[in-house]
Amino acid sequence: MKFETPFFVTLACAFSWGILTVLGRILLLEYHFAPATFTFIQMLSGGLALVLIGRKRFSSIGFRPLKYFHTWAFGGLRIISASFYVGSLLYLSAANLAFLGASAVTMSVLYVWLTLKRKPQLIELPGHIVILIALYFMIVQFDGQFNNPAVWLLFASEIIITIAITIGERHPMNQNNSSGDTLYLTGMILLASATILLILSYFASLFEAQLPDDFYPQIRSQISRFALEDIFNPYAWMFGFLTGASFRAAAIYYSLRSVKLTSSEFYLGSMALMPYINLAFEYLAMKFGYLPLVGFNQTEFLLGTAACAGSLYIIYFKRSK
């Protein structure tokens, strides 16, 4: 599509994730859906919707995306990353976690340097220094500081998503510039992801049942996040279908288009826009009574903004492959 410039697809991706995050939070609080169940329905619905939209490609492409390791690895790693992210929400706000996510660009630069041999430019170094300093002072504002479980859960999530995004960038079927092929590929990835989550749920339930009652509660909680509970809830299916076939499908599609047209580092650095998108949508949701009111911490906001500015500085020099 002619309008799919690197800037457009990256911005569309950030907005899709932002809307999906806030809508998901509203629905989870209102209807108390099991997070894994709601995510499973979104993935299944989004995958089926995109495959049906691209049904003309079934004759030429068929099930070929499912034959690639990249499809299953990209989907599986995203699910695992999301479980760590959900765990971190128990200890910190979504806005603070989004600001901490600025660390992803530094992680991605190091990772692609080691694995893809894409050496960073020296001029990018000030941006990384600003990110690390801002995040350090931001973390010491939190309860428990570096001992806060959210910090390590979030960093684990960022490492995993960095690996997933680079796999998406190198996916053999994400190398051409056909948006229709990418749309069909996205549908297949979402269906693969739903299958992986279903399998993980089964084994997580078996594993959790074998654990003693006094087993580490944080680890038990992490395992239980894969459980598909209340699977026949009609509201979960209704809202899961609506959000999955729209915003989740769009978010994964534009993720793949962004890393194709730019790079993994550019994509992850651009997610520095996410905190502000989230804050804007959360403000509207709170204003209309869909979310509970929360306080605004100016110090954490300014430190987070400094980290995001460092990310945007870095991606300025990575705006093309």
Domain regions of the chain by residue span: 6-316
pLDDT the model gives residue 307 = 86
pLDDT the model gives residue 219 = 67
Count of Cβ atoms closer than 10 Å to residue 75 Cβ: 25
Distance (Å, whole) CA 73 – CA 161: 11
Residue pair 131/311 in contact (Cβ under 8 Å)? The answer is yes
Chain Cα centroid distance, residue 217: 25
**Tokens 């430190």, residue located:** 303
Residue pair 257/9 in contact (Cβ under 8 Å)? The answer is yes
Give the CA distances from residue 158 to residues 80, 99, 104, 153, 279, in Å, rounded to whole numbers and listed in that order: 11, 12, 6, 9, 20
pLDDT the model gives residue 1 = 60
Distance (Å, whole) CA 153 – CA 145: 13
Residue pair 196/71 in contact (Cβ under 8 Å)? The answer is no
252: Cβ–Cβ under 8 A, 6 or more apart, which residues? 46, 186, 189, 190
- Which pair of structure tokens corresponds to residue 106? 């530094």
Residue pair 269/105 in contact (Cβ under 8 Å)? The answer is yes
Distance (Å, whole) CA 226 – CA 203: 9
End-to-end CA, the chain: 19
Residue pair 259/315 in contact (Cβ under 8 Å)? The answer is no
**Tokens 């960038």, residue located:** 169
HSE value, Cβ hemisphere, 13 Å, CA-based, for 247: 16
The DSSP string of 238-253 is HHHHHHIIIIIHHHHH
Helix locations, the chain, DSSP H: 6-31, 35-53, 69-88, 94-100, 103-115, 125-139, 149-169, 179-210, 217-224, 234-243, 249-261, 264-270, 274-287, 298-316
Distance (Å, whole) CA 187 – CA 49: 7
Per-residue pLDDT of the chain (321 residues; tens, 9 = 90+): 667 788 899 899 999 988 988 888 888 888 888 888 888 999 999 999 999 998 888 888 889 999 999 999 999 998 888 878 777 776 777 677 777 877 778 888 888 888 877 888 888 888 889 988 988 888 888 888 888 888 888 888 888 988 998 899 889 998 887 888 999 999 999 999 999 999 988 888 888 777 777 776 766 666 776 778 888 999 999 999 999 999 999 999 999 999 888 888 788 878 888 888 888 888 898 889 888 877 777 887 888 888 888 888 887 877 655
